[in-house]
């Protein structure tokens, strides 16, 4: 895992439609300074309409992940955030002229292709990592999500649908940029035809098509090209997981197992992590290996009453002081 923070080497642009809104949107990813994180800016509302990509800005997890600050929102953030995290981009400004990230082809591959082409710029700032030291487990009915100590970042997923073309699927992978590009990035979002029709009747999935989603009928997959992987469905669930976990604000050292989970469970896990500082350490790399900032940072955090909050803003707030953490 990289020791140094990175940003994108130059501005890139994308255009497409929102999966649920059906609205045309143009999006730019721009370089950003060290210790600034990922930020969305709604240019149609003015350049002050900024939303930090943190878990405390999540306002909706139905169908996709939506972030908001005041009356400004951006939805369907997970694929783009997964692309940035998977490619090791720590700092970037994402400008868009509508309220939903374009769905592109339903995966993170179009974003990843461009990010790989333009490359990254190393920054003169150490990377901060969230190292899991104790297991955290959440169960809701037959769904479960667990994070536990691991020397790296690994994700494992399992889904189980009654539909004959999906059934039970499992997949597990240790995530770095090459494996993310090869195994996860191109897995597309999917839906069942009868659900798509219902969603459209209720003002959702208005931009959905066979060009940006796998659509499953009673007995066949309607996309002429078929599947990209035999287990593309569970791989896409892991793509969503990686994108949502990026809202912790820094890379994670740990193994996440997600069984029948979705955006709501991902958010619940992040909140559990935030609420249990005894289960993790916040570290940065140094020339001598790991340098733990755990004790002094958590003491400051507890004194402020904000738990993980300082880690979800630019890391320049890390030095111990009596001042309150920056707003997010």
Structural domains in the chain, sorted by start: 4-126 (3.30.230.20), 130-278 (3.30.1700.10)
pLDDT of residue 206: 85
Task: Using alpha carbons, list the distances in angstroms from residue 241 to 48, 256, 294.
Answer: 29, 9, 25
pLDDT of residue 291: 55
Q: Which residue is catalytic, options 79, 255, 263, 266?
A: 263
Which residues are registered as beta bridge partners of 72?
69
Distance, C-alpha 27 to centroid of its chain: 17
Burial 227-243 (b: 16+ CB within 10 A, else e): bbbebbbbbbbbbbbbb
Q: Is 263 a catalytic residue?
A: yes
| Closest to 255 measured CA to CA, from 143, 169, 136 | 136
Residue 68 tokens read as 């908001």
Q: Where are the alpha helices (DSSP H) in 56-201?
A: 78-86, 109-118, 177-179, 193-201
Residue 178 gets the label, from left (phi > 0), alpha (psi -120 to 50) or beta, of alpha
Which residue shows structure tokens 């240790």?
A: 174
Distance, C-alpha 208 to centroid of its chain: 21
Measured distance CA(309)–CA(129) in Å, rounded? 14
pLDDT of residue 322: 30
pTM score, two decimals? 0.89
CB 165 within 8 A of CB 192: no
Measured distance CA(318)–CA(72) in Å, rounded? 28
Q: Where are the alpha helices (DSSP H) in 202-321?
A: 232-245, 263-275, 294-304
Strands 214-216 and 190-192 turn out to be parallel
pLDDT of residue 321: 27
pLDDT of residue 205: 80
Residue 156 sits at φ, ψ, to 5 deg, of: -130, 135
Measured distance CA(322)–CA(284) in Å, rounded? 22
pLDDT of residue 287: 55
Strands 66-69 and 168-174 turn out to be unpaired
CB 170 within 8 A of CB 234: yes
Per-residue pLDDT of the chain (328 residues; tens, 9 = 90+): 788 999 999 999 999 999 988 899 999 999 999 999 999 999 999 767 899 999 999 999 998 999 999 999 999 999 999 999 999 999 999 999 999 999 999 999 999 999 999 999 999 999 989 999 999 999 999 999 999 999 999 999 999 998 888 999 999 999 999 999 999 999 999 988 888 777 888 887 888 889 999 999 988 999 999 999 999 999 999 999 999 999 999 999 999 999 999 999 999 999 999 999 999 998 886 655 555 554 445 444 444 444 455 454 444 333 222 332 333 5
Measured distance CA(221)–CA(162) in Å, rounded? 15
Largest CA distance in the chain: 63
């Amino acid at each position: 895992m990289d020791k140094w923070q990175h940003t994108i080497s130059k501005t890139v642009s994308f255009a497409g439609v929102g999966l649920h809104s059906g609205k045309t949107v143009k999006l730019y990813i721009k370089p950003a300074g060290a210790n600034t994180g990922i930020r969305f800016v709604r240019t149609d509302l003015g350049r002050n309409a900024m939303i930090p990509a943190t878990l405390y800005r999540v306002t909706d997890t139905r169908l996709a992940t939506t972030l908001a600050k005041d009356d400004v929102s951006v939805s369907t953030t997970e694929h783009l955030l997964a692309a940035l995290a998977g490619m090791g981009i720590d700092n970037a400004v994402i400008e868009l002229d509508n309220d939903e990230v374009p769905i592109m082809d339903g995966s993170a591959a179009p974003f990843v292709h461009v990010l790989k082409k333009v490359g990254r710029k190393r920054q003169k700032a150490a990377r901060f990592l969230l190292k899991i030291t104790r297991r955290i487990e959440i169960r809701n009915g037959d769904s479960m999500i667990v994070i536990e100590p691991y020397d790296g970042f690994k994700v494992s997923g399992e889904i189980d649908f009654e539909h004959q073309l999906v059934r039970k699927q499992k997949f597990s992978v240790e995530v770095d940029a090459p494996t993310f590009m090869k195994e996860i990035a191109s897995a597309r979002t999917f839906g069942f035809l009868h659900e798509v029709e219902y969603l459209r009747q209720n003002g959702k999935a208005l931009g959905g098509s066979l060009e940006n989603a796998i659509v499953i009928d009673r007995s066949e997959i309607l996309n002429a090209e078929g599947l990209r992987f035999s287990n593309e469905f569970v791989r896409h669930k892991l793509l969503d997981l990686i994108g949502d976990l990026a809202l912790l604000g820094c890379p994670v050292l740990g193994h996440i197992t997600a069984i029948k989970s979705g955006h709501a469970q991902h958010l619940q896990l992040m909140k559990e992590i935030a609420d249990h500082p005894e289960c993790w350490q916040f570290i940065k790399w140094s020339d001598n290996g790991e340098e733990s900032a755990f004790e002094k940072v958590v003491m400051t955090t507890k004194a402020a009453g904000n738990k993980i909050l300082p880690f979800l803003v630019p890391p320049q707030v890390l030095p111990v002081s009596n001042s309150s953490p920056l707003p997010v």
